[in-house]
Amino acid sequence: MTHPWFAGASVPRVLAHRGLVTTDAASHGVVDNSFAAVAAAHAAGALYVESDCHLTKDGTVVLFHDEDLSRTVGDPRKVSDVTVRELEDLMSGRGGLITLEQALETFPDVRFNLDVKAAAAAEPVGHLVAPAAARVLLTSFSDARRLTALRAAAEAGATVRPATSAGRETIAKVLLAVSLHSRPLAERALRGVDALQIPERQGAVRVLSPRLIETAHRYGVEVHVWTVNDAADMRRLADIGCDGMVTDCADVALRILGPASL
């Protein structure tokens, strides 16, 4: 059965990468993963918002990409070294801090794609998303972190498990299966996975291929590509069968690929 996170929406899916920060917003100090960025993606018509989860010193899950604050607010400390109140103050002129709890409550019609960035955040993320599991996809570069979050969601009473995208270890197994033309290996690697979220290339290695897309689709798994900001690339990837694109330019992508439909 199709997970609710995927149901009723047009393909290819547009995933607003860390929300939406337009050039004008950036000139006014708004940063990615801020409250304003998520609100802008929603206002532009994005059904899907891709974001990242870290844990503050006092145990609050916040939408924040980097481990430290240097790029975003010019502070060298780690997210885990500051309290949520301190982070709210630091983000006050940059679009505003948004916690995971606030995101789920404030935007009830948004489907979140959440990357668990810190091991300490995995269980709290799972607990928080449990009531909203039908509109959450959990992922992480670490398969261990995403599986911990999935287990935590189940333990917290989620009536449906969140959707999930493969971590690096699983993706490596899929790529091996594709290179060996091994259906049994591919089937095992993709078991329990709803999507592969991958770059086209990783350094000199080409990750995305028609054969990978064909293999994923054979087992009911979608292929989403990150990070796609060029209009010609969006059209090209749609033409070869990609099911979703993570983009910093969700407003542009929605015009090119078509609005989300429900």
Give the model confidence (pLDDT) of 135-167 as tens digits: 999 999 999 999 999 999 999 999 999 999 999
pLDDT score recorded for residue 262: 57
Indicate the burial class of 15 (C-beta count within 10 angstroms; 0-12, 13-18, 19 or more): buried
Q: How far apart are CA 37 and CA 94, in angstroms?
A: 10
Average pLDDT over residues 11-23: 97
Q: Respond yes or no: is residue 65 known to be catalytic.
A: yes
pLDDT score recorded for residue 260: 75
pLDDT score recorded for residue 261: 63
CA-wise closest residue to 244 among 11, 64, 5, 4? 11
Residue among 17, 42, 54, 224 flagged as catalytic: 17
Residue 165 contacts residue 195 (beta carbons within 8 Å): yes
Strand pairing category for 244-247 and 222-226 = parallel
51 secondary structure, DSSP code: E
Average pLDDT over residues 68-95: 98
Residue among 3, 42, 54, 65 flagged as catalytic: 65
- For 146, phi then psi, to 5°, come to -70, -35
Angle between helices 210-218 and 168-179 (to 10 degrees): 110
The residue with tokens 């592969």 is 196
Element (H or E) spanning 186, and its range? helix 183-190
